[in-house]
Amino acid sequence: MTANPEIDSILQRGADGGRITPEEALLLYTQAPFHALGEAADAVRRRRYPDGVVTYLIDRNINYTNVCVTACKFCAFFRAPKHKEGWSHPTEEILRRCGEAVDLGATQVMLQGGHHPDYGVEYYEELFSSVKQAFPQLAIHSIGPSEILHMAKVSNVSIEDAVLRIKAAGLDSIAGAGAEMLPERPRKAIAPLKESGERWLEAMAVAHRNGLSSTATMMMGTGETNAERIEHIRMIRDVQDLAVANGYRDDAVEQSHTVGGFRAFIPWTYQPENNHLKGRTQATTMEYLRFIAVSRLFFDNVAHLQASWLTTGKDIGQLSLHMGVDDLGSIMLEENVISSAGARHRSNLRELISMIRTADRIPAQRDTWYSHLAVHLTEADDPTDERVVSHFSSIAIPGGGAGRTQLPLVEAS
């Protein structure tokens, strides 16, 4: 109980699975006592996942090109077309990296890149079909609405045509990439050439109704207001409401490969190095943890909440497990985009599992759709492969790719 009956009432309703309004969410975010807020959010986790399991994933983020016409101010990864540092990977190199990932136990690859001016739907059809043919066991959780809108424009087809074609080629799931901040003012401030938040959500809605589920993300800390942070999750929840109302999404069948809608929400913090926005991360640890908790209470229609230890650090990632989080993300065998902007946190499989276990949770490896592949009830059940470390081939973190030959690249057109 707190000293404010209104806050008590909202916290109790949210903890019991009832819906809270955006105005109530803002009140909780700015005024609810920290421990009461965390306790209510964790009550949601315990009700949804009474087994105490916290999941993790082994995956690899493979970037096919860094050439991009969007020029987002916060991005340290992209290069403009014809820039001397622009590159694209040949398909053979992408397949080699997929093979390495499979050997290290990965069940998912995230294929992402810039908005290359020449890459239409045909490029992605060839890319996904090549990966799926060579490694049918890998889930292709890749690209995001921004790339879908871009490829549809390049190929002069509708969003729906683009979605249906890349799904047929092998795309299993859509990443929440490119959401950044969805409300108009902060989005224009950091990514003036990118599509609107409404268009981003429109592409997601098209994917959902065609049987592709996805994640949703938010980048905190570029100067957005508290109200704009809440508006971001309001916009996502409204789209999820449509998926539920139209039968595209149902928590009871959340592990189905053919059900649309958002599976998880993943907020992360802006990284300020090597980009045009610079400055500093304007989201404190407390702001991040409070937002995690409010998100768990607000998203009564999204099953999973993932912490971003990559951007906040492993200690904050572990703390978030007491604020309603049920997924600690992945051991990313490769990650270059956020790392290029300053994210330097690394982990290995043993450490990630220890983070979960010492938070008094039960670690479990999951797949893309949150099916449990291995539940580590005791330490005797823990995997022991010392090769499974994050960023083992990153170009953005010192030591990534140590002992390996220069990665082959082809010149960007």
Question: Which class does domain 34-396 fall in?
Answer: alpha beta
| pLDDT band (50, 70, 90) for residue 8 | very high
Strands (E), 83-221: 87-88, 108-112, 139-142, 173-174, 213-220
Residue 59 reports pLDDT greater than 70: yes
Is residue 347 within 8 A of residue 308, CB to CB? The reply is no
Is residue 140 within 8 A of residue 90, CB to CB? The reply is no
pLDDT tens by residue, 261-290: 999 999 988 866 555 555 556 689 999 999
Instruction: Choose the most confident range, by mean pLDDT, from 37-41, 309-313, 332-336.
Output: 37-41
Average pLDDT over the chain reads: 86
CA distance to 57, 102, 330, 362, 364, per residue, from 381 (Å): 16, 21, 19, 11, 10
Mean pLDDT for the stretch of residues 116-140 = 97
Among residues 96, 100, 179, the alpha carbon closest in space to that of 145 is found at: 179
Residue 335 reports pLDDT greater than 80: no
Measured distance CA(72)–CA(69) in Å, rounded: 9
Measured distance CA(216)–CA(302) in Å, rounded: 10
Residue 310 reports pLDDT greater than 70: yes
Total H helices, total E strands in the chain: 15, 12
Q: Which residue has the tokens 């549809």?
A: 152
pLDDT tens by residue, 187-228: 999 888 899 999 999 999 999 999 999 999 999 999 999 999
pLDDT score recorded for residue 396: 45
Measured distance CA(152)–CA(120) in Å, rounded: 7
Is residue 180 within 8 A of residue 187, CB to CB? The reply is yes
Measured distance CA(203)–CA(393) in Å, rounded: 32
Measured distance CA(135)–CA(213) in Å, rounded: 21
Return the domain boundaries, the chain: 34-396
51 versus 399: the higher-pLDDT residue is 51
pLDDT tens by residue, 20-34: 999 999 999 999 999
Q: Which residue has the tokens 């992402």?
A: 112
Measured distance CA(20)–CA(11) in Å, rounded: 9
